[in-house]
Amino acid sequence: MGSGFEHRTVLLDKAVELLVQDKNGIYFDGTFGRGGHSRLILSHLDVNGRLIATDKDPEALAVGHELSIADSRFNIFAGSFSRVKELLQPDEKLDGILLDLGVSSPQLDNAERGFSFMKDGPLDMRMNPDEGQSAAEWINTAEESVIADVLYQLGEERHSRRIAKAIVRRRVEMPFSTTLDFAEVVKEANPSWEKHKHPATRAFQAIRIFVNRELADLELLLESSLDCLKPGGRLVVISFHSLEDRIVKRFIQKQEKGDAPDGLPIPDAMITRHMKRVGKALKASSAEVDENPRSRSAIMRIAERL
């Protein structure tokens, strides 16, 4: 597409190896990005295999539409992966679901998208710039207590109230419109800087997650996976921060435990379990981290529908 940005897909080979168990199956890539996982999935499928994908980002969709023209086994749809049920026929089930969460390299590296505190650009942060409220619109209008709660809950920012107060005080003088301006105000308000981490990191993470409803969409997708996956179908999720990973981990644990009430002596044979873990949580190898530092925080969890 001539974007000038290179995106290196994290945990590419291992994710696809663990996902594709039936070469003639139907698979779902909920986070197409620039198509790294999708292309490798397609290379593992036979002529009757199918891959459905979604993405919110118009630039990713443009790449996906090109792939759909080149390969009739592939279709991509605009919007959140949480709508996976809508994309299936009434009796259709999936053989696998893949999510590669977080922000892609082209989104981070393109200052115009407003995701980065390292380059100046419009304070936007939306995966789809044409939908919903931008980060600037929200920051300039939200109540101080709401901003503080978002920073604390979604960014795990210990100084959320102090930073929220500084944001509100400054926006009275002049509304926020650019990333570096906002990052500087957060930086000045943050009294304790973490080593090797920009003091605005947690605030940017929190606002991005909030603006894009990332955790809500993830929870909806996980619940939908129980209806959408056929027995033996796999759920593969790559997370990049603790909030996402915690949601995925707890969901898999809950499905493994099944329907047994806490504290009651129910015979094991009477418990309906919905999923089982496939191996342990995986991280990027040291070689991959050396090649792609953004993979350092990636955690991949796999579960299989029973």
pLDDT of residue 102: 77
Domain 12-105+214-305 and domain 128-211 have a common topology: no
Q: Is 15 helix (H, G, I), strand (E, B) or coil?
A: helix
pLDDT of residue 8: 63
User: Left (φ > 0), alpha (ψ -120 to 50) or beta: where does 275 sit?
Assistant: beta
Q: Cα–Cα distance between 184 and 170 in angstroms, integer?
A: 11
Which token pair is 273? 């379990």
Q: Do 298 and 283 form a contact (C-beta atoms < 8 A)?
A: yes
Give me the CATH topology for the region 12-105+214-305: Rossmann fold (3.40.50)
Q: Do 199 and 193 form a contact (C-beta atoms < 8 A)?
A: yes
Domain extent listing, the chain: 12-105+214-305, 128-211
Average pLDDT per block of 10 residues along the chain, 306 residues long = 53 96 98 96 98 97 98 98 96 97 83 92 96 97 98 97 98 98 98 92 96 97 98 97 96 91 74 94 91 88 98
Per DSSP, the residues of 180-214 read HHHHHHHHHH-SSPPTTS-TTHHHHHHHHHHHTTH
Q: Which CATH superfamily is domain 128-211 in?
A: Putative methyltransferase TM0872, insert domain (1.10.150.170)
For helices 214-228 and 242-257, give the axis angle rounded to 10 degrees: 30
Which token pair is 245? 């990973």
pLDDT of residue 3: 42
Asked whether the whole model's pTM tops 0.85, one would answer yes
Contacts of 209 (CB under 8 A, 6+ apart): 154, 155, 215, 243
Which token pair is 22? 């039936």
pLDDT of residue 5: 43
Nearest CA among 85, 75, 127 for reference residue 106: 127
Q: Is 275 helix (H, G, I), strand (E, B) or coil?
A: strand
What residues does 97 pair with on adjacent strands? 28, 235
Beta strands in the chain (DSSP E): 26-29, 50-55, 74-78, 94-100, 229-239, 275-277, 282-283, 299-305
pLDDT of residue 87: 98
